[in-house]
Chain A
Amino acid sequence: MAVAIKKKGFTNIKIYNGGLKDWMKSGLPVNTIEPLPKYKGPVISADELVKKLREAEKTGCRGADGDALLTLIDFRASSRLKHKIGGDRYRIKTVCPTITALLDDFIDNQELIDSIPRKGMVVTISETGNRDSFLKRYLKKYGYTNVVGLQYGMRSWHKAGYPVEKIAP
């Protein structure tokens, strides 16, 4: 952010590097507008996910009852950027459905939330896995119990060399 606002012409910038984490760790008060439920939610490793995807893809990612077996939610911030760099130019290669949206797109967005299957596994994909807990907690408010986060995010998928497809030059 510091670099972004400096590019906009702001000249006097100092960074509170410890951030919210250090602030809360120090026992200092925080303000809340809409608290998320206390919920951690499960994670899935890249190794486990690739196995589950391969299995689900055998039946077109649908169970015998027609319900979705596996759905991805790719909420990386880069999805809205015109110019993507590095790993952001790729997404997980799969025929299983992928919902692409920003984290904040889910706020009070009943249509988007309703597009998430309540059956089968739903896997959230962030850059490094750090923000998945917030989406899982938000969806818990809406009664979702089938959402898991990709541990260490897209970074772990890339590191493992698992299939990706290019979405930007």
Chain B
Amino acid sequence: MSDIYLDNAATTPLDPRVLEVMLPYLGEKYGNPSSFHSKGKVATDAIREARESIAAILRVRADEILFTSGGTESDNLAILGYARMNKQFGTHIITTSFEHHAVLEAVMRLEKKEGFRVTYLAPDREGMIDPKQVADALCEDTILVSIMYANNEIGTIQPIAEIGNSIQKFRAEKNLPHLVFHTDACQATAYLDMNIEKLHVDMLTLNGPKIYGPKGTGLLYVKRGIKLEPLMFGGAQEKGIRPGTEDVAGIIGLAKALELVQKERATESARLIVLRDQLIDGILGSIKRTRLNGSRENRLPNNVNISFIDIEGEALLLYLDASGIYASTGSACTSASLDPSHVILALGFPYEVAHGSMRFSLGHETSKEDIEYVLKTLPPLVATLRSLSPVSVDEKYWL
């Protein structure tokens, strides 16, 4: 029975090298970093080293890193924390309509309950945001822009440095020191340049479980001088902005995971791009009435997102699962809300395209043989489901 995991955008397996450095902190090195004795110092030192190692990779200062429980918390802290602390300087926020829900729902909360005005920029049909759209939306009332580095469903890579540049320019011209730029880089961390100086961002979210690190770990980079209102209260940890005893083992693991993916990203990206393209070309070439969602050029090395027209994603997901292939779908049927993928809809395609979308996200363990197996297994499964399906969606809706 095959066991082909193509859902690395959902989460990655823990790298054994990461687990190894974590283990002592789950065992004998159990001290609380806030304790004033030697057991506490062991933990404090470990966290300091982890923070310094991360800061060096991101080219920032160690005191600009806040450890959190993951991507969702980092996004929420960046958006809610910043907006609430700085609302006297403006109440306009810019984001995109295809952000991760951790950003979208935090922003919607501010819009619905706390008097903020939000501009949702729409990506083009290729899943790209034009820096000009951001520049046009900026106004003197804008305090926060949040745009993802790479999209979690379709893997499109946004021109973050360019967008950051134009925000910086606007900030300088109009003298708006409180206008800041946040990016959710969770999907990008393993594959893209994470030099924050070059990205021109003021806040950045990344997390462990997308980079072969432990679940429940993440961080928020916050440029020196930026003030955030905490979401929680009750301790001095992380400068009081994120109180609570630190997850020492998790932080050690996150630092190791970041170090490894960034060190290996050039070779791993090159390897995965070949497999990704083989999978995309293989599916589009062997199965009719399919479309690649998201730009082919500006695309993460590990993301393949294809809509199989006339069939429903959950059904295909289950057929693949039974063949030992684990993927993900934008179909309404697997979401708790029964709403289909907001990302595919944001590209301007109708519900039919979203219902039939499948994401295959590659990773460390993906081999050429895996891709060949998928390409051999997939066509008959799609053919079976199409033979059950009464619909034939007109090309004008999906081509």
Chain A partners chain B: no
Residues in B lying within 8 Å of A, measured CB to CB: none
Residues in A lying within 8 Å of B, measured CB to CB: none
